[in-house]
Structure 1
Amino acid sequence: MSNPSVDDALTPYDAVLLLSFGGPEAPEEVVPFLRRVTAGRDVPEERLEEVAKHYHHFGGRSPINDQNRELLAAIEAELARRDESRPVLWGNRNSDPFLTDTLRAARAEGHLRICVVVTSAYSSYSGCRQYREDLAAATDELGLAAVDLQLDKIRPYALHPGFVAANLERLVEAVGTVDPKRATTTRLLFVTHSVPDAMDDTSGPGDGDGNLYIEQHLRAGHLIAQGLAERTGTTLEHELVFCSRSGSPRTPWLEPDINDRLAELAAGGVTDVVVAPIGFVSDHMEVVNDLDREARESAERLGLGFVRVPTAGTHPLFVEALVDLVEERAAEARDEVVVPAQADSGDVRPSICDSGCCPNLREARPALCGRD
């Protein structure tokens, strides 16, 4: 993406912002964090206390912030390797460092044109538009202090070759640990965060058919399973399952839940499962609690062998992909012709979201980095 007329491939950006969900880092932060996460959803206090037990099981500290610190350092190192050094800022939706504070400090330091990298790869309300709403809310809160800030988000990257390749590398290594003496029938389970059916039905462009959230996972899983067969000669029957369901039991959410599916597979003669959480970019609470603890306990109770594949995390291929995406967004900002990298022939989602894409079904809220 080099262009002799610009300083480097990140021009015109002054900084890169890593925008994430956030998490508590001490026991006393857990319930306030959960209140922020569920604000406006009428979640009973007793339900928050129940979810809080997941965090207290791990000492009241979510792993997500430490993982973001590692990812931030890895992005900085990759930028430096490319001679494209920029400050890499960090802001969270639900915990310190809060996005508004990060943007206020950025402006004070003279960082006015910022490329935003979100720690969510897939298209959906919670995975894309809600972050765009966060950006709009933060600039609104800053008022005149944000009048000269310009924030450009990278596109959804579930099918970027680097993200797919990083997940494939993790899977190849994990499959190599399956005990061939006991594993007579192994099933590969790709896992993601469940969302309400209605959120999946409306994921994607407003004039489309929806269900882009599921579609992207199925396409990514197919590519990764295909890559496993090509690399190792191991062909595993695979499927998509879900974890971390929450909300009212009267609201339909995507199924099957991984624990329910484990019981069905064990009853059907499967001896081992390889669990690949491709819906997550790092091993945060939904992974270490819902998979490493709860799903693993289910597998042990059912007599299933259980191997959990690490997430992309700070795999070099994933870090390189994120920087590639920032460079791609910078080229767009310079009005250059860009051919986005894609791991298959499906549609590439744009960095500027279409009108009505992945709408907020609860309330109308402004969102940046889109046409609405």
Structure 2
Amino acid sequence: MSYDALLWLSFGGPEGPDDVMPFLENVTRGRAVPRERLEEVAEHYHHFGGVSPINELNRKAIAGVEAELRAQGVGIPVYFGNRNWEPYVTDTVGRMAADGVRRALVLATSAYGGYSACRQYDEDIVRALDAVGHDAPELTKLRQFFDHPLFVECFADAVNVARMQLPEKVRGTARLVFTAHSVPETADRASGPPAEGGRRYSRQVAEAARLVAAECGIDGYDVVWQSRSGPEHVPWLEPDIVDHIDMLAEKGTQAVVVCPIGFVSDHLEVIWDLDNEAAERAAEHGIAFARALTPGGDARFARMVVELVREHTEGAPARKLSTMALAGCTVNGAPCAERCCEPAPAR
């Protein structure tokens, strides 16, 4: 089937101090997050000059995909749009329409299902199409890729590199800890259609962790969570990475390798929650700490994206390592399955 372009759809982030609070207001709109919580999170961004690395990392990853598309003879341009900051996806879809794009594929920068990881990107597509109107191109979002062999290879190699950064005397005893963004437990239960309960967000993360650990030849590992942002009375996926490090210290762990399996790029929640908070807690306990890099800048990630594109343009086989059913492809924002990735019930 013929497509005119690829839309790279991401979360967005501030690119200067004056952007921080408006960006956070965009992210939390309609969620009644207290102002003091926004101010607390804003300080994380100001710690890095008010700039999130996510937009620049996306631009670099896009350049890698553009180069791979050219190398493989796939002659489509790549457009960049965000949910929460410039370039906004609605503006980008408008530009695509003005450029004459009629049918485009969409790569959402999340490997997983779930409301925030998948369904919200469908909603972004719907809003953009509604705003642009009848001239808007048809948009088909690519599938989830948490179990793609190249995604797994990138993380496995990153874990091995991180382990080599540890002092030699503790390297062999290092505990491997996978981490992903926490969500409310109710959201996790709603992150797969009833007939596919095994496709919950948390189970997809666990499966990706299993695949990476197996590729590394590691039997013992943990899956934990980070970046919780909701009210204390609402149960979220646990344990938190910092609490888990406390527990490892009680067990006498001397070294840890943390792998941010839930993230495509080293954006602020990775460098703050892991490189700052988790690393500092490990240091307090005298635990050697190393963190694996995310795969967005890896040439294999670009090859994976082009493979996902070819599944649609050429009917290429879908490569995957898990037994979970393929999911995540949507046309013009329609859910990939009935009741898939619904928002959690209000609490």
Structure 1 residue 172 corresponds to structure 2 residue 160: yes
Q: Distance in 2 between matches of 1:111 and 1:322?
A: 20
Q: Following the alignment from structure 2 to structure 1, what is the Cα–Cα distance between the partners of residues 17 and 120?
A: 26
Matched, 1:226 2:214: yes
Measure how far apart 1:183 and its partner are: 4.4
C-alpha contact (below 8 Å) 1:202/1:210 kept by paired residues: no
Q: Does the aligned pair in 2 maintain the 1:17–1:116 contact within 8 Å? A: yes
Match of 2:11 among 21, 46, 66: 21
Output the amino acid matched with 1:38: T
What's 1:116 paired with? 106
Give the CA deviation at 1:358: 0.6
Percentage of pairs with the same residue: 45
CA distance in 2, matches of 1:320, 1:182: 35
The one-letter code matched in structure 1 to 2:285 is: L
CA displacement at 1:206 relative to structure 2: 4.2
2:228 counterpart residue number = 245
1:279 aligns with 2:267: no
Q: CA deviation at 1:167?
A: 0.9
Residue of 180, 186, 204 corresponding to 2:192 = 204
Q: Following the alignment from structure 1 to structure 2, what is the Cα–Cα distance between the partners of residues 362 and 32?
A: 27
* Matched position secondary structure for 2:57: helix
Report the CA distance between 1:151 and its aligned residue. Answer: 0.2
Match for residue 176 of structure 2?
188
Alpha-carbon deviation of 1:302?
1.0
In 2: Cα distance, 1:130 partner to 1:210 partner: 20
Aligned residue pairs total 341
5+ long unaligned stretches in structure 1: 1-10, 230-234, 364-372
Q: Decide whether the 8 Å contact of 1:203 with 1:210 is kept in 2.
A: no
Matching residue of 1:76? 66
Matched letter for residue 50 of structure 1: E
- The amino acid across from 1:309 in the alignment is A
The structure 2 residue matched to 1:40, chosen from 6, 30, 51, is 30
Structure 1 residues 286-325: aligned runs within 5 Å:
286-325=269-308
Return the offset for 1:347. Answer: 2.1
Q: How large is the RMSD of aligned CA atoms in angstroms?
A: 1.5
Which residue does the alignment assign to 1:85?
Answer: 75
Aligned with 1:90: secondary structure? strand
Match of residue 370 from structure 1: none
- Corresponding residue for residue 59 of structure 1: 49
Structure-2 separation of matches of 1:182 and 1:166:
24
Structure 1 CA distance, aligned partners of 2:22 and 2:288? 38
Unaligned runs of 5+ in 2: 331-335
Contact 1:201–1:210 under 8 Å retained in 2: no
- Deviation of 1:184 (Å): 6.2
- Tell which deviates more after alignment, 219-228 or 339-348: 339-348
Structure 1 position 47, deviation (Å): 1.2
Aligned to 2:327: 349
The Cα of 1:171 is off from its aligned counterpart by 1.3
CA separation in 2, counterparts of 1:26 and 1:117?
26
* CA displacement 1:31-56 (0-9 Å, x = unmatched): 00000000000111121111100000
Q: Is the 8 A contact 1:184 1:271 kept in 2?
A: no
Question: Are the aligned partners of 1:206 and 1:354 in contact in 2 as well (CA < 8 Å)?
Answer: no
Q: Which runs of 4+ in 1 moved over 4 A?
A: none
For 1:92-131, list aligned pairs within 5 A.
92-131=82-121
Q: Is the 8 A contact 2:163 2:171 kept in 1?
A: no
Q: So what's the TM-score if we normalise by structure 2?
A: 0.95
Choose the corresponding residue for 2:342, options 359, 364, 367. 359
* 8 Å CA contact retained: 1:185, 1:269: no
Amino acid at match of 1:328: E
Q: Could you give the per-residue CA deviations for residues 69-117 of structure 1, whole angstroms, max 9, x where no partner exists?
A: 0011000000000011211000000000000100001100101111000
